[in-house]
Amino acid sequence: MIIGEEGKVYIDLFAGCGGLSLGLHNAGWKGAFAIEKSADAFKTLEHNLIKKKKHFDWPNWLSQKHHDINEVLDNNSENLISLRGKIDLVAGGPPCQGFSMAGRRVENDSRNDLINSYINFIDQVQPKLIFFENVRGFTQGFKRNDKKGRAYSLYVIDELEKKGYTVQGHLINFADYGVPQKRTRFILVGIQNQFIKSNSNLTKETFFERIEKNKEEFLVSKDLTVNPTLENAISDLLQSNGQIESETPNFKAGIYGDKASSYQKYLRRYKKQESKVDSHRFAKHTEIVRNRFQIALNENLTSAAYRERFKLKKSSTKILEGNKPTPTITTLPDDYIHYCEPRIMTVREYARIQSFPDTYQFKGKYTTGGKRRTQEVPRYSQIGNAIPPLFGEQAGLVLKQLIQ
């Protein structure tokens, strides 16, 4: 692996399907390698960023496949320590399900232990910069005996400060950065104290001040806006445009309509009008479900009214509004009814909401269920778990500015 000859070099931890890596790639960073436990998510990252974009300069001591971070730490400690002084940034955040307000918030969820694996990895590699992302719930303590405990965000900040970093964390809503989704996440940025001392000309402006100041110029340069709507994002992907055979037998896929917004033009900029839309397969709803969805749209029902009207126990179904950014999308597509058609959204529509370009192809199953949900990460889940590339690019540009 040849490190540091061009641009800035980073490692992506808990990389998922590559949303953050794609953003960093677009910002001019070079990947050393990525660690992702799911074979499904890694296939998507591998196809788009390793094979198509040649983005990673993968080391020969680490096999180019999915990995558990603890196995990498246990088996490659000497190799990780040898990277000290060569890695500019370690990016990514551990899985968030144990902290998520959308889930059950279980403090002893085994995935929460990955916080310590993350800190151990930072300690071994000692990058100049740290970029960490997690859900809003990460900043809120778990209840113990009717009292709130200490938030994990404070624990992480304390531990990283002990490892020699100056750290700041803030909540950021990605809709403010051009993503058509009200998705608030905890972002933490750390700079190595040793690096600060050896660089007297290092900018005093924080990451959060600079990314806020830069966003308007960035979005204008792409002909994009703050708070784009769902309709801005997906109105060219309607089922009424027409249907063709899907790559999956017995399913139909959608075709492109005319580009109707600058956001659509931006994400379709390398796709021809007549080319196939990747992962735009429509769900097969029963007539009962389609009729129910149509009534919800016709009568503009709220989620509560929808549940009451049809005597449904499921409480999380949302009827999306075309003239607003979406609420935070989860990994469960059945939670959302399309804003103007009686159906759930497709994988490609999910990807648009998360700002993935249409050239980014997703691999693996579309959905999964039952016990398989603990082993498999289908396409909807890959996208629902991702950091939007559009925000990742803005973060990447500012992170480069911080240490140039």
Give catalytic residues, as residue numbers.
96
Measure the CA–CA gap between 288 and 279, rounded to whole angstroms. 25
93 contacts 133 by C-beta, under 8 angstroms? yes
Q: Which two tokens stand for residue 57?
A: 């300069």
Structure tokens at 226: 């703050």
Q: How far apart are the first and last CA of the chain?
A: 22
Q: Is 249 helix (H, G, I), strand (E, B) or coil?
A: coil
> Among the residues of 163-251, which ranges form H helices?
193-197, 207-221, 230-234
Question: 10 Å Cβ neighbour count for 110?
Answer: 9
- Please report the beta strands in 140-223, taking only residues with DSSP state E, as ranges in sequence order: 143-144, 147-148, 165-173, 181-182, 184-192
Q: Which two tokens stand for residue 338?
A: 């399309």
| Angular region, 158: left φ>0, alpha ψ -120 to 50, beta rest | alpha
Distance CA 402, CA 26 (A): 17
Q: Please identify which residue in the block is written with the tokens 């979406």.
A: 326
Rounded to 5°, the CA angle 318-148-109 comes to 65
Question: What is the maximal distance between C-alpha atoms in the chain?
Answer: 67
Q: How many CA atoms does the CB half-sphere of 69 hold within 13 Å?
A: 25
Residues 151/38, Cβ–Cβ less than 8 Å: no
Residue 280, amino acid: H
Alpha helical stretches, state H, 235-318: 262-267, 287-298, 303-309
